[in-house]
Structure 1
């Protein structure tokens, strides 16, 4: 499975996390069944997704429903960055 890292600035990290945890239906529709995330005191968040269907994930990630959820959770949309992990090495 492909890993996708999403980073963003949020209005308030604690409030973001509370709202983020209510988005299970959206994540399941994106074929995501486990989400790892963190945030810091500067209200920066990083989220790791491993969708079963990359194309489905990206389709729904760009949907109005996802945008509305991000807005409700206090995500500053102009700061969202998406990284698709496509390289690896074994040290």
Structure 2
């Protein structure tokens, strides 16, 4: 069985990250919007930090070929000073 998903991570300032499905297909047959919504309901929130001692807001996410980056900063291109490696 072949399953294909097109999805995005969504952060809105809450201490949670959601998976938003754009398209999905099983063996080449596309899934309808009702099934996509049901799948989202089952897996979301993908990350929930509300139970952590300090639940920081998640404002940005980024997926690279090696990592999933979750940040409380809105602009991932400008990392905080203490997040950078020492010179």
Q: Smaller-chain TM-score range?
A: under 0.3
Larger Rg: 2
TM-score (norm 2): 0.27
TM-score by length of 1: 0.26
Kindly indicate which of the two structures has a greater share of residues assigned to helix: 1
Which of the pair is proportionally richer in strand? 2
Structure with greater contact order relative to length (CA < 8 Å, sep ≥ 6):
1
